Chain A
């Protein structure tokens, strides 16, 4: 059945910020229990897409179904209940600055469960160990490096083993070893616990190695979708350019602007 195959179905999504069109009739089907990657140039709206799925940003038009429920028609209470089954790792980490690393990871457990203090401790240690930061449990977020903060944010996002985890650029700022560990971790969470994972990343190599399905978005539309093999085998010019990182081609690198002659040389140019 269609509904059980896809955890998330997005139809005809349109969204604009002021005059800037972010999505213009985009469709997404996110398969259940798989790793789906969202790729695309910086500023195309990948983070925005995750916030729309989480119900934080309301689209101007279109439907967003998660488990067959339309996110856009939920009221405040339903939305908060829905988000309990969701983990999101923010691009900016967004750790609670007045809590220690330990308390940050324990936070979702404390508010949503009645687990005993020992059990919480064991779980937090397991999650922190998985990202290699068990030893950093007593540090404050301000004492972490960017890459460490991201890994804590990741540990916090998976704290309750939610049904859906959204990772917003987890690999940014990670050294090669940490990168390998995180790739393994995301893969394992997905295969062992059958968690649906949504991954936003610019690291083509890592993404291709773990994603079951990739969406490439640009200019408010889905310009390519399929398994990594499919995208590699039959790339459109846009997808090819993006996957190979070529500056020239149909995908715009620049934020929409006037001609450079105009900006650099002034009107006389």
Chain B
């Protein structure tokens, strides 16, 4: 029992220590106003973390939209409420699935790549040699990647939302034959800009912050070994995913919990 308490205590302290170092890393990196050169670096990184994630985002969004429409339609048709497919789909996608699934995919596609890239740069002393040139790698390497993530994830979420709804239209309206008028007007009446769209985007911004933070810290903090690197990339995906799902629950509670 004492051993267990001690083990948990040590675990907790190590965790607190990592959290502290991660915060210092983040603060040092973000204490930086991007100037022209910085903007160029950010745009390059948006290409790598954002643009290259586009294919998987679009494919997933379309199939999730299609599946949702199928499920909603078969259930709602039993009550003759096919018109509600549009609004149901839009609410689920804008409020939950858009931000959450985009962030999860981003963590798997771009987060792990960020971790591996930064970890390798550290292992091969590239960050160290940059420091010796008087260039701060936190500003030059870490900060542009964090900014790129913060900008890319909300944009990817918006694209996800659009494509998912399009997927729903293709299946619900074009294929299963729901009435397009009812579909769109239901959506228009049921969806509110602030309540649904904006709050969903706020979620995605928070997720972006979490994923990029975890990814760069895991890379920066990885032990310089093959095993250390592979553990770090795995950790990025696992920790980000758990954080995304947990904060999503909390934010849903705060945003929509009504008690």
In whole Å, how far is A79's beta carbon from the nearest beta carbon of chain B? 9
In the assembled complex, A242 has its CB within 8 A of some CB on chain B? no
Per-residue contact bits, chain B 126-144, to A (CB 8 Å; 1 contact, 0 not): 1011111111100010000
Within 8 A of B (CB), among A32-89: 54, 56, 76, 80-84, 86-88
Indicate if the CB atoms of B126 and A96 lie closer than 8 Å: yes
Indicate if the CB atoms of B135 and A86 lie closer than 8 Å: no
Pick the interface stretch among A105-113, A127-135, A212-220. Answer: A105-113
Indicate if the CB atoms of A97 and B134 lie closer than 8 Å: no
- A112 to B136, alpha carbons, bound, how many Å? 12
Indicate if the CB atoms of B125 and A84 lie closer than 8 Å: no
Indicate if the CB atoms of B128 and A84 lie closer than 8 Å: no
For residue A153, which residues in chain B have a CB less than 8 angstroms away from its CB?
129
In the assembled complex, A171 has its CB within 8 A of some CB on chain B? no
In the assembled complex, A23 has its CB within 8 A of some CB on chain B? no
Per-residue contact bits, chain A 85-118, to B (CB 8 Å; 1 contact, 0 not): 0111010101111000000000110011000000
From the candidates A54, A80, A94, name the one contacting B125 in the complex (CB within 8 A): A94
Indicate if the CB atoms of A56 and B134 lie closer than 8 Å: no
- A253 to B130, alpha carbons, bound, how many Å? 33
Indicate if the CB atoms of B134 and A94 lie closer than 8 Å: no
**Residue from B121, B129, B131, B140 whose CB has the most chain A CB atoms within 10 Å:** B129
- A91 to B49, alpha carbons, bound, how many Å? 32
> What number of B residues sit within 8 Å (CB to CB) of A?
17
For residue B131, which residues in chain A have a CB less than 8 angstroms away from its CB?
54, 56, 80, 83
Indicate if the CB atoms of B136 and A80 lie closer than 8 Å: yes
Indicate if the CB atoms of A94 and B129 lie closer than 8 Å: yes
The answer to whether A56 and B133 touch (CB under 8 A), given A90-B125, A94-B126, A97-B126, is no
Indicate if the CB atoms of A81 and B133 lie closer than 8 Å: no
From the candidates B125, B133, B134, B136, name the one contacting A92 in the complex (CB within 8 A): B125
Indicate if the CB atoms of B129 and A97 lie closer than 8 Å: no
For residue A112, which residues in chain B have a CB less than 8 angstroms away from its CB?
133-134
Per-residue contact bits, chain B 209-227, to A (CB 8 Å; 1 contact, 0 not): 0000000000000000000
Indicate if the CB atoms of A92 and B132 lie closer than 8 Å: no
Indicate if the CB atoms of A97 and B133 lie closer than 8 Å: no
Indicate if the CB atoms of B134 and A86 lie closer than 8 Å: yes
Indicate if the CB atoms of B124 and A94 lie closer than 8 Å: yes
For residue A84, which residues in chain B have a CB less than 8 angstroms away from its CB?
133-134
A: contact size bracket = 20 to 34
Interface of chain B: mostly helix, strand, loop or mixed: helix
A84 (CB) vs chain B CBs: closest residue: B134
In whole Å, how far is B101's beta carbon from the nearest beta carbon of chain A? 30
- A54 to B132, alpha carbons, bound, how many Å? 7
Indicate if the CB atoms of B133 and A107 lie closer than 8 Å: yes
From the candidates A76, A81, A86, A96, name the one contacting B132 in the complex (CB within 8 A): A86
Within 8 A of A (CB), among B11-46: 28, 37
For residue B28, which residues in chain A have a CB less than 8 angstroms away from its CB?
76
For residue A107, which residues in chain B have a CB less than 8 angstroms away from its CB?
133
Per-residue contact bits, chain B 98-135, to A (CB 8 Å; 1 contact, 0 not): 00000000000000000000001100111011111111
Indicate if the CB atoms of B125 and A111 lie closer than 8 Å: no
A108 (CB) vs chain B CBs: closest residue: B133
Indicate if the CB atoms of A97 and B132 lie closer than 8 Å: no
- A82 to B124, alpha carbons, bound, how many Å? 23
Indicate if the CB atoms of B129 and A80 lie closer than 8 Å: no
In whole Å, how far is A168's beta carbon from the nearest beta carbon of chain B? 11
Indicate if the CB atoms of B124 and A83 lie closer than 8 Å: no
From the candidates B37, B124, B126, B129, name the one contacting A88 in the complex (CB within 8 A): B129
In whole Å, how far is B49's beta carbon from the nearest beta carbon of chain A? 15
Indicate if the CB atoms of A94 and B128 lie closer than 8 Å: yes
For residue B135, which residues in chain A have a CB less than 8 angstroms away from its CB?
80, 108, 111
A83 (CB) vs chain B CBs: closest residue: B134
In whole Å, how far is A6's beta carbon from the nearest beta carbon of chain B? 21
For residue B132, which residues in chain A have a CB less than 8 angstroms away from its CB?
54, 56, 83, 86, 88, 90
For residue B120, which residues in chain A have a CB less than 8 angstroms away from its CB?
97
For residue A83, which residues in chain B have a CB less than 8 angstroms away from its CB?
131-134
- A77 to B126, alpha carbons, bound, how many Å? 20
Indicate if the CB atoms of A56 and B128 lie closer than 8 Å: yes
- A51 to B141, alpha carbons, bound, how many Å? 21
B120 (CB) vs chain A CBs: closest residue: A97
Q: List 18 A-B contacts (CB under 8 A).
A: A54-B131, A56-B131, A76-B136, A80-B131, A80-B135, A80-B136, A82-B134, A83-B131, A83-B134, A84-B133, A88-B129, A90-B128, A95-B126, A97-B124, A111-B37, A111-B135, A111-B140, A112-B133
Enumerate chain A interface residues (CB-CB to B < 8 A).
54, 56, 76, 80-84, 86-88, 90, 92, 94-97, 107-108, 111-112, 153
A-B contact sample (6 more), CB < 8 A, given A80-B136, A81-B134, A94-B125: A54-B131, A56-B132, A90-B129, A96-B126, A97-B120, A97-B124
Query: Which 9 A-B residue pairs are closest in the complex by CB-CB distance?
Result: A83-B134, A94-B129, A84-B134, A94-B125, A88-B132, A80-B134, A54-B132, A108-B133, A90-B129
